[in-house]
Amino acid sequence: MNNKVPNNRAWLLVLPMLVLVAFSAIIPLMTVVNYSVQDVLGPNARFFTGTEWFQSMLNDDALQAAFLRQISFSLIILAIQIPLGIGIALIMPKRGWQASAVLILITLPLLIPWNVVGSIWQIFTRGDIGLMGWGLRELGIEYNITRNAGDAWVTIILMDVWHWTPLVAMLCYSGLRSIPEAYYQAARIDRASKWAVFRYIQLPKLTNVLVIAVLLRFMHSFMIYAEPFVLTGGGPGSATTFLSQSLTTMAVGQQDLGPSAAFSLIYFLVILLVSWVFYTTIMNMQKDKPPHGGA
Amino acid sequence: MAEITLKGLAHSYEKTPKGAADYAIRQMDHVWHQGGAYALLGPSGCGKSTLLNIISGLLEPSEGDVLFDGQRVNELPPEERNIAQVFQFPVIYDTMTVFDNLAFPLRNMNTPEYRVKPKVLEVADILELTPLLDRKAKNLTADEKQKVSMGRGLVRDDVTAILFDEPLTVIDPQLKWKLRRKLKEIHERFNITMIYVTHDQLEASTFADKIAVMYEGQVVQFGTPRELFERPAHTFVGYFIGSPGMNFMAVEYRDDQVMFGTQPLPVSEQMKHAVASAANASANDISHNNIKLGIRPEFIAISSSEVANSVPIQVTSVQDLGTYSLLTFKLNEQTFKARLPEGHPPVSEAAFAHFDAAHVALYIDEYLVEAGHE
pLDDT, tens digit, for every residue of B224-281?
Answer: 988 888 888 888 888 888 888 899 888 888 778 888 888 888 888 888 888 888 887 7
Same structural domain, A103 and A189: yes
> Which of B13, B52, B79 should be substituted to probe chain A, the one whose Cβ sees the most A Cβ atoms within 10 Å?
B79
Query: pLDDT digit string (tens) for A29-66?
Result: 888 888 888 887 777 777 888 788 888 888 888 888 88
What pLDDT is recorded for position A273? Answer: 92
Contacts of B276 (CB under 8 A, 6+ apart): B253
Domains in chain B: ranges and CATH: 4-240 (3.40.50.300), 247-369 (2.40.50.140)
In this structure, the answer to whether residues A167 and A118 fall within a common structural domain is: yes
Q: What is the domain range of residue A94?
A: 61-285
User: CA–CA distance from A267 to each of A37, A42, A227 (Å)?
Assistant: 16, 26, 19
B130 contact A CB<8A = no
Residues A124 and A28 in one domain: no
What tens-digit pLDDT sequence spans chain A (295 residues)?
Answer: 567 788 888 888 999 999 999 998 888 888 888 888 888 777 777 788 878 888 888 888 888 888 899 999 999 999 999 999 999 999 998 888 888 899 999 999 999 988 898 889 888 888 788 888 888 888 888 878 778 888 888 889 999 999 999 999 999 999 999 998 889 989 988 888 899 999 999 998 998 899 999 999 998 898 888 888 888 887 787 888 888 888 888 888 887 888 888 888 888 899 999 999 998 988 888 776 655 443 3
Given this model, what pLDDT does residue B284 score? 65
Task: Identify the pLDDT of residue A76.
Answer: 94
Its ipTM equals 0.77
Is residue A142 packed enough to be buried (19+ CB in 10 Å), middle (13-18) or exposed (0-12)? Answer: exposed
Q: How many CA atoms lie less than 13 Å away from A75 in the CB half-sphere?
A: 7
Enumerate the residues of chain A whose CB falls inside 8 A of the CB of residue B149: 186
Give residue-wise pLDDT tens across range B107-162: 988 888 888 999 899 889 888 888 988 888 888 888 889 889 988 988 888 888 88
Question: Where would I find the H helices in B310-374?
Answer: none
Contact of B302 with B356, CB cutoff 8 Å? no
Reply yes or no on whether the pLDDT at B373 is more than 50. no
Give the pLDDT of residue A293.
Answer: 40
pLDDT for B374 equals: 39
- What's CA A99's distance to the chain center, in Å? 27
Asked whether residue A54 is assigned to any structural domain, the reply reads: no
Residue B287's pLDDT band (cuts 50, 70, 90):
low
> What residues contact B183, with CB distance under 8 A and at least 6 apart?
B150, B164, B194, B196, B207
Candidates B178, B84, B85; CA nearest to B127 is B178
Bond from prior residue into B43 cis (ω within 30 degrees of 0): no
- The answer, as to whether pTM is greater than 0.80, is no
Query: Is B85 in contact with A180 (Cβ distance < 8 A)?
Result: no
User: What is the domain count for chain A?
Assistant: 2
- H/E stretch holding B332: none
| Chain A residues touching B94 at Cβ < 8 A | 200, 204-205
Average pLDDT along chain B = 85
- Inter-CA distances, B229 with B36, B222, B310, Å: 20, 12, 24
CB A51 within 8 A of CB A182: no
* Residue of B58, B80, B106, B116 to mutate, interface with A, max A Cβ within 10 Å: B58
**CB atoms B87 and A189 under 8 Å:** no
Does residue A118 share a domain with residue A44?
A: no
The answer, for B367 touching chain A at a CB cutoff of 8 Å, is no
Question: Do A159 and A31 belong together in one domain?
Answer: no
Strands B257-260 and B263-265: antiparallel
Residue A228 in domain: yes
CATH of residue A249:
1.10.3720.10
Q: What gap in Å lies between CA A160 and CA A118, rounded to an integer?
A: 10
What residue in B sits closest to A203 (Cα-Cα)? B95
**Eight-class DSSP state of A4:** P
Beta-strand relationship, B83-86 and B161-165: parallel
pLDDT for the residue numbered B285 = 64
The residues pairing with B31 across neighbouring beta strands, listed in sequence order, are: B5
The CA distances from residue B327 to A223, B298, B313, B343, in Å, are 76, 11, 11, 13
Which candidate, B231, B245, B224, places its Cα nearest to that of B339?
A: B245
Distance between CA atoms of A191 and B83, rounded to whole angstroms? 11
Q: Which residues of A touch B108 (CB under 8 A)?
A: 190-193, 196
Contacts of A288 in chain B (CB under 8 A): 135-136, 139
Residues A202 and A271 both lie in one domain: yes
A290 lies in a domain?
no
Residues A18 and A152 in one domain: no
Considering the domain architecture, whether residues A105 and A20 belong to the same structural domain is answered as no
Distance CA B367, CA B285 (A): 17
Sign of CA dihedral B200, B202, B208, B213: positive
Q: What is the pLDDT of residue A256?
A: 81
Q: Does residue A194 share a domain with residue A155?
A: yes
> Is A24 found in the same domain as A151?
no
* Residue A3 in domain: no
Residue B141 contacts A where some CB pair is shorter than 8 Å: no
Rounded to whole angstroms, how far apart are CA atoms A169 and A210? Answer: 10
| Minimum CA–CA partner of B105 in chain A | A190
* Euclidean distance between CA atoms B110 and A100, whole angstroms: 40
A79 and A165 together in one domain: yes
| In a shared domain, residues A31 and A66 | no
Query: Torsion-angle region of residue A140: left (phi > 0), alpha (psi -120 to 50) or beta?
Result: left
- The candidate with the shortest Cα–Cα distance to B90, out of B7, B12, B152, is B152
**CA distances in angstroms from A126 to A116, A129, A146, A152, A222, listed in the order given:** 15, 6, 10, 12, 26
Contact B152 A190 (CB under 8 A): yes
